[in-house]
């Protein structure tokens, strides 16, 4: 026997129904802080420093992300730099 239940509700209604907290004020404050921080950035080095401070694991997280991007890009290119078919 198979029973299917479809619930039509908004994400806010689902969170309230499940008893999860409303984190929208925290999210709004985080976004405002990020935007305010980015207003004074004038160079790539300043942008990199900002992202390092906001990344979950700091400098190690940025290095890990860079390594993953390098692996992905190297998989797309052949040995001579041409894209694979």
pLDDT tens for each residue of 20-77: 988 889 889 988 887 887 777 777 777 777 777 766 666 777 778 788 888 888 877 6
pLDDT tens for each residue of 28-38: 998 888 788 77
Record the pTM: 0.41
DSSP assignment string, 23-52: -HHHHHHHHHHHHHHHHT--SHHHHHHHHH
pLDDT tens for each residue of 2-21: 999 998 999 889 888 889 98
């Amino acid at each position: 026997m198979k029973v299917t239940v479809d619930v039509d509700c908004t994400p806010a209604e689902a969170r309230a129904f499940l008893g999860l907290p409303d984190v929208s004020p925290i999210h709004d404050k985080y976004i405002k802080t990020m935007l305010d921080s980015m207003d004074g950035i004038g160079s790539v080095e300043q942008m990199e420093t900002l992202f390092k401070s906001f990344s979950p694991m700091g400098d190690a997280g940025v290095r890990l992300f860079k390594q993953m991007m390098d692996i992905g890009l190297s998989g797309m290119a052949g040995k001579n730099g041409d894209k694979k078919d």
